[in-house]
């Protein structure tokens, strides 16, 4: 298709077309095609942004990436375009905003602007440790900090000295997985 040899616009168009086809490969529905198009658009924006040599604060870059990924996942997982639009509208507050009842006294005046106030607990989806939602939140917070501050698997792998012991362990794992190949598993994309 020419790639970057035919200019930047062609390069970005090729990225978008390739990702559109990747979306179509995942499923024959408009949500998958749009998801693929979004991935191509995200890649194009990323490549274009790098050429500008403008760096954003890390927290802002992470936030933008997180929101873009979440938006794309909605398209990927929705059963239909109307379901995707319902979810996106709810995510951005177009279906109303619900605030926890605990803050009713402080933000109750917002009900005059259409804000619903009920006793919904925003942490009910968290795993409960000894029925303490605060403890659950703290555990997740500590895990998140650990994921951000501790070395990742690539950094750990660079530090490992692959002596005979590690070679033996990796050989055992490889043998186990090779012997497990005879188990029947359904093709991941069978239902797509």
Domain count, the chain: 2
Bridge partners for 100 per DSSP: 118
Domain boundary among 95, 126, 143: 95
pTM: 0.59
Q: Are residues 90 and 2 in the same domain?
A: yes
Residue % of the chain over a pLDDT of 90: 39
95 band by pLDDT with thresholds 50, 70 and 90: confident
Question: Would you say residue 115 lies in a domain?
Answer: no
Higher pLDDT, 109 or 177: 177
Q: Residue 126 above 50 pLDDT?
A: no
* Residues 37-67: tens digit of each pLDDT: 999 999 999 999 999 999 999 889 989 999 9
Q: What is the chain's mean pLDDT, rounded?
A: 81
Domain boundary among 95, 114, 130: 95
Q: How far apart are CA 88 and CA 82, in angstroms?
A: 10
Question: Would you say residue 170 lies in a domain?
Answer: yes
Q: Are residues 164 and 79 in the same domain?
A: no
Question: Would you say residue 103 lies in a domain?
Answer: no
Domain boundary among 80, 95, 110: 95
Question: Would you say residue 192 lies in a domain?
Answer: no
128 band by pLDDT with thresholds 50, 70 and 90: very low
Question: Would you say residue 133 lies in a domain?
Answer: no
Question: Would you say residue 147 lies in a domain?
Answer: no
Place of tokens 């890649």: 43
Q: Residue 118 above 60 pLDDT?
A: no
Q: What pLDDT sits at residue 186?
A: 62
Question: Would you say residue 138 lies in a domain?
Answer: no
Q: Are residues 87 and 4 in the same domain?
A: yes
Q: What pLDDT sits at residue 102?
A: 62
DSSP-derived 3-state class of residue 152 = coil
DSSP-derived 3-state class of residue 79 = coil
Residue 129 and residue 139 in contact, taking contact as beta carbons nearer than 8 Å: yes
167 lies in which domain range?
A: 153-182
Q: Residue 168 above 60 pLDDT?
A: yes
Residue 61 and residue 46 in contact, taking contact as beta carbons nearer than 8 Å: no
115's tokens: 């804000």
Q: How far apart are CA 57 and CA 63, in angstroms?
A: 10
Place of tokens 């050989």: 171
Q: How far apart are CA 83 and CA 95, in angstroms?
A: 13
Torsions phi, psi for 13 (to 5 deg): -60, -40
Segment 143-168 mean pLDDT: 87
Q: Are residues 164 and 84 in the same domain?
A: no
Listed in sequence order, the residues at least 6 apart from 192 whose beta carbon sits closer than 8 Å to its beta carbon are 26, 27, 28, 32
Residue 39 and residue 72 in contact, taking contact as beta carbons nearer than 8 Å: yes
* Residues 12-44: tens digit of each pLDDT: 999 999 999 999 998 888 999 999 999 999 999
Q: Are residues 90 and 161 in the same domain?
A: no
Question: Would you say residue 17 lies in a domain?
Answer: yes
Cα–Cα distances in angstroms (integers) from residue 115 to residues 70, 82, 107, 123, 134, in the given order: 24, 24, 9, 20, 25
Higher pLDDT, 185 or 29: 29
Q: Which of 20-24, 96-100, 144-148 has the lowest mean pLDDT?
A: 96-100
Q: What pLDDT sits at residue 49?
A: 92
């Amino acid at each position: 298709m020419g790639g970057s040899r035919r200019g930047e616009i062609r390069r970005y168009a090729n990225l978008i077309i390739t990702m559109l086809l990747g979306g179509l490969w995942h499923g024959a529905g408009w949500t998958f095609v749009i998801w693929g198009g979004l991935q191509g658009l995200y890649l194009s924006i990323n490549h274009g942004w790098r050429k500008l040599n403008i760096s954003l604060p890390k927290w802002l870059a992470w936030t933008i990436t997180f929101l873009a990924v979440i938006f794309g996942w909605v398209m990927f997982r929705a059963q239909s375009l109307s379901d995707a639009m319902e979810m996106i509208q709810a995510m951005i507050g177009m279906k109303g905003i619900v605030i926890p009842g605990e803050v009713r006294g402080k933000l109750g005046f917002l009900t005059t602007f259409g804000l619903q106030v009920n006793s919904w607990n925003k942490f009910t989806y968290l795993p409960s440790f000894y029925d303490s939602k605060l403890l659950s939140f703290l555990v997740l917070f500590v895990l998140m900090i650990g994921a951000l501050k501790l070395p990742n698997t690539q950094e750990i792998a660079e530090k490992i000295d692959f002596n005979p012991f590690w070679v033996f362990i990796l050989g055992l794992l490889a043998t186990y997985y090779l012997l497990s190949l005879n188990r029947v598993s359904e093709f991941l994309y069978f239902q797509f």
